[in-house]
Structure 1
Amino acid sequence: MDIQIPSQTVIGAAVDPLADPLTQSFDLVARQDKTESEVKALRSDVDEVKARLDRMGRAAVRPVIGEGSGEPSAEVKGFVDGYLRRGRETEVKSISGAVAKDGGYAVPREIDAMIASELKDISPIRAIAQVVQVGTSGYRKLVTTGGTASGWVGETGARPETDTPEFAEIAPPTGELYANPAASQSMLDDAAFDLEAWLASEIAMEFARAEGAAFVKGNGINQPRGFLSAPTSMAGDAVRTFGTLQYIGSGDADGFDAAPEARLIDLVHTMKAGHRQGASWVMNSATLSEVRKLKTTDGAFLWQPGLIEGQPDRLLGYPVVEAEDMPDVGAGAFPIAFGNFRAGYLIAERSATQILRDPFTNKPFVHFYATKRVGGQVLDSSAIKLLKIEA
């Protein structure tokens, strides 16, 4: 009778019980070493794949420099590596034929797009206003102050002449906006230093800080005229002078009265229904902190937080935009604006940003003096309403 001797399994391998024990030990150790090396190799492959995915993810959220392959274009390479890093103007001239007659060189459109993208993200009024790109600083636009008249007639009736609409000319005051970030030469010599992304971020942050204040309260002298600098009146749209913003009082000389929700509702409905589509509230964080505490007579909060990530908070159903340059609640101030800024405020800018490399002023740092012409003005005064703190 044949006797079957069962085999033993150790770490997934069949072991012969009749084999030499010393040989079995060596075999098991060899198999364990092989298994561990395979696991290490697999982990290394997984880590490499994760690193590639991380790099792809970072590239996906960054504006593409260059076209097609995602590699920097020859113009960007010459501008960044030749001019910005090493100060060689010949590379910029040979690629684009640029001449530094304005005190600097126009940045390539790829880098300018990065600056514009970040500006839109961090400049509150720019994100909701109408922005036009112009070739000169003398931009003008005609706006109708009254619609073309019309009438009803029969099929064969005469068509009398209708009234001609009236026009008003808009010429936004402009000024030169500048930023002057600095980097050490050792940073520029470091190939791992992402110069174009750093420069776009620094310029955008400084531009956003300066233009954010100008779009709200700029006086129009060598800078945009902010919407709070426009003349104001309590008169309605039908009788108010073009270019004058309408406001309503808060009902209290120092803040809100006993029924603040009624004042805010009145402010919303002073605006035409067509403009209310796309309208937003604009206020600073100090004012928003008071508004968030306001309740209706039945105890419900007027302010509603965004329910989805990225969705703005809402007040009476309209999104709230925080602009820190808006004034605080105080006697005679205009702390809250409500309007369709896409129709109500115009930003006119010359698209090309100029950069001058300056390695001499503050050695051992290299300054990048960036300039851009920007203008702004109220476009349609019936599209923006204000709340004034007064009795």
Structure 2
Amino acid sequence: MADRDAPVGADKASVVLDTKAEVANFVRDLKSFQERIEVKMKTQDDRISMLDRKGAERPALSRAADDQTPHRKALDAYLRSGDEAGLRAVSVERKGLTTAVAAEGGYLVDQLTAARIEGVKRGAGAVRAVANVVQIEAGVFEVLVDRGDLETGWITEGAAPTETAPSLFDKVSIPLHELSALPRASQRLLDDSAFDIEGWLADRIAEKFARAENAAF
């Protein structure tokens, strides 16, 4: 009777081993599938982060861009041929825009071009990644610096706090310096209407400014 039962037990053991092997294979395949999914998700996250960084460097689109179209056309004509008539006309008709003639006879670029330059400088300048960049109109940047050390101490509940010493403020004045760039373009490029001279100037100026800032700091 024992001999007749032996093959049955062996069959059961074989079935158990086969089941364990199948489960192990399934778990291994599942882990491999999970690893592939994680790699794909990481690749997508990296791509999204890259697109976000590129998008941050571009000036935001808005309806205000339509209002600056005459100025952009006038600026393009000025850059290609030196004709100031268009810029002067736009400056008089659109007083709300930053296109007024300066006291020295210069012109301010439109907001989109300025934003493009700032975006490229942020991406290429190592200093701007860690510095606190502020916009000012004066020739000197003044900031108050707290030189004192704020006193602290442990007190019990209900006890009156001790008055701390007054803070000591110093005014720090940082004189500003100007950066200039004079990119050159051939007359053939200037005569080519398909050549984006404004974008080329913005990218070249921003690149030169970023290099100069990195070298200075």
Specify the TM-score bucket, using the shorter chain as the normaliser: 0.5 to 0.7
The aligned length equals: 157
Conservation of the 8 A alpha-carbon contact between 1:119 and 1:205: yes
Report the equivalent of 2:88.
93
Give me the whole-angstrom Cα distance separating, in 2, the residues matched to 1:183 and 1:72: 28
Q: Which letter maps to 1:195?
A: I
Report the equivalent of 1:248.
none
Instruction: Output the TM-score relative to the length of structure 1.
Output: 0.36
Query: How far has the Cα of 1:166 moved from its partner?
Result: 1.7
Q: Structure 1's 178 and 120: CA in aligned 2 closer, same or farther, altered over 3 A?
A: same
Report the equivalent of 1:73.
68
Which runs of 5 or more structure 1 residues have no equivalent in the other structure?
1-56, 216-391
Give me the whole-angstrom Cα distance separating, in 2, the residues matched to 1:65 and 1:99: 26
Which runs of 5 or more structure 2 residues have no equivalent in the other structure?
1-50, 93-99
Q: Structure 1's 124 and 103: CA in aligned 2 closer, same or farther, altered over 3 A?
A: farther
1:63-93: per-residue Cα shift (whole Å, max 9, x none)?
3586239768325423433322232323223
Q: Report the more deviating stretch, 180-189 or 145-154.
A: 145-154
Give me the whole-angstrom Cα distance separating, in 2, the residues matched to 1:183 and 1:101: 28
Query: How far has the Cα of 1:149 moved from its partner?
Result: 2.8
Report the equivalent of 2:58.
63
1:28-57: per-residue Cα shift (whole Å, max 9, x none)?
xxxxxxxxxxxxxxxxxxxxxxxxxxxxx9
Conservation of the 8 A alpha-carbon contact between 2:59 and 2:119: no
Q: Which letter maps to 1:93?
A: R
Q: Structure 1's 101 and 69: CA in aligned 2 closer, same or farther, altered over 3 A?
A: closer
Give me the whole-angstrom Cα distance separating, in 1, the residues matched to 2:86 and 2:61: 17
Give me the whole-angstrom Cα distance separating, in 1, the residues matched to 2:58 and 2:74: 17
Q: Structure 1's 204 and 133: CA in aligned 2 closer, same or farther, altered over 3 A?
A: same
Give me the whole-angstrom Cα distance separating, in 1, the residues matched to 2:105 and 2:212: 21
Report the equivalent of 1:179.
181
Report the equivalent of 1:368.
none
The question of 1:202 aligning with 2:204 is answered: yes
1:321-342: per-residue Cα shift (whole Å, max 9, x none)?
xxxxxxxxxxxxxxxxxxxxxx
1:173-212: per-residue Cα shift (whole Å, max 9, x none)?
3212110011123312212101121001110121122221
Matches within 5 A, 1:137-148: 137-148=139-150
Q: Which letter maps to 1:136?
A: A
Identity in percent: 38
Q: Structure 1's 210 and 159: CA in aligned 2 closer, same or farther, altered over 3 A?
A: same
What's the C-alpha RMSD, in Å, of the aligned pairs? 3.0
Conservation of the 8 A alpha-carbon contact between 2:125 and 2:211: yes
Counterpart pick for 1:190 among 184, 192, 197: 192
Give me the whole-angstrom Cα distance separating, in 1, the residues matched to 2:70 and 2:136: 23
Q: Structure 1's 75 and 151: CA in aligned 2 closer, same or farther, altered over 3 A?
A: farther
Matches within 5 A, 1:259-278: none
Query: How far has the Cα of 1:137 moved from its partner?
Result: 1.4
**SS where residue 77 of structure 1 aligns?**
helix
Query: How far has the Cα of 1:103 moved from its partner?
Result: 5.2
> Which structure shows the bigger proportion of residues in helix conformation?
2
Q: Structure 1's 92 and 76: CA in aligned 2 closer, same or farther, altered over 3 A?
A: same
Q: Report the more deviating stretch, 94-103 or 70-79.
A: 70-79
Q: Structure 1's 103 and 128: CA in aligned 2 closer, same or farther, altered over 3 A?
A: farther
Conservation of the 8 A alpha-carbon contact between 1:142 and 1:167: yes
**SS where residue 102 of structure 1 aligns?**
coil
Q: Which has the larger radius of gyration?
A: 2
Give me the whole-angstrom Cα distance separating, in 1, the residues matched to 2:185 and 2:74: 16
Instruction: Output the TM-score relative to the length of structure 2.
Output: 0.60
Q: Structure 1's 102 and 176: CA in aligned 2 closer, same or farther, altered over 3 A?
A: farther
**SS where residue 176 of structure 1 aligns?**
coil
Q: Which letter maps to 1:137?
A: G
Query: How far has the Cα of 1:152 moved from its partner?
Result: 5.0
1:93-122: per-residue Cα shift (whole Å, max 9, x none)?
332352142352111111011111111111
Give me the whole-angstrom Cα distance separating, in 2, the residues matched to 1:147 and 1:89: 57
> Which structure shows the bigger proportion of residues in strand conformation?
1
Give me the whole-angstrom Cα distance separating, in 2, the residues matched to 1:70 and 1:130: 28
Conservation of the 8 A alpha-carbon contact between 1:120 and 1:127: yes
Q: Structure 1's 70 and 78: CA in aligned 2 closer, same or farther, altered over 3 A?
A: closer
Q: Which letter maps to 1:179?
A: A
Q: Structure 1's 181 and 161: CA in aligned 2 closer, same or farther, altered over 3 A?
A: same
Counterpart pick for 2:112 among 110, 113, 122: 110
